[in-house]
Amino acid sequence: MIDTPQIKETDAITVATVALRIPKEEMQEHFPPAVDEIMEAIEAQEVEIAGPVVAHHLAVHPEIFDFEICVPVASPVEPTGRVQPSTLPATKVVQTTYHGPYDGLPEAWAKFEEWIDEQDLSLQSDAYERYVDGPHNKPDPEEWRTELARPID
């Protein structure tokens, strides 16, 4: 289900982003249109995409998703509509990769958090999901890969 977690340093990443604060159960209703909105802005501005979509959860809440949908870009986008330029900071994280369909992510996060607790790591409040392989490039959900990361102190 998840790979053995590792501690690593990340680089800062320039992104185009849309911020959302939605009930957890509305994720599928809001996520794809926000990604489409970002992609349209990037394409209209002729900015190069520099990596897969990232969900940056600003805080981990049981019922509300307070997060930014981010698309890494080679250069900053101009603000348009809800799309804003931003930067994901360089940070130290504990990271794992989940293999499988998105409906398995809650269980993957639970296993990941259990491992983190066993290591007695001090976490920051945010979390990241990076959709390395998914419906955008692999038709079989069993081949999807999502990187899960939590910044640590």
In the chain, the percentage of residues whose pLDDT exceeds 90 is: 92
Per DSSP, the three-state class of 134 is coil
Does pTM surpass 0.85?
Answer: yes
How many other CB atoms are there within 10 angstroms of residue 28's CB atom?
A: 8
153, two tokens: 């102190």
Positions of E strands within the chain: 6-9, 13-23, 54-60, 64-72, 84-88, 92-99, 127-133, 145-151
CA 60 to CA 127: how far, in whole Å? 7
Residue with tokens 């909105």: 37
pLDDT band at 31 (very low <50, low <70, confident <90, very high): very high
Q: Which CATH superfamily is domain 6-151 in?
A: Regulatory factor, effector binding domain (3.20.80.10)
pLDDT digits (tens, 9 = 90+) for 128-139: 999 999 998 999
Letter string b/e over residues 89-125, b meaning 16 or more CB atoms within 10 A of that residue's CB: eebebbbbbbebebebbeebbeebeeebeeeeeebee
- Strand, coil or helix: 43: helix
Classify 90 as helix, strand or coil.
coil
Q: In whole angstroms, give the CA distance from residue 68 to residue 142.
A: 26
The predicted-structure confidence for 51-83, as pLDDT tens digits, reads as follows 999 999 998 787 899 999 999 999 999 999 999
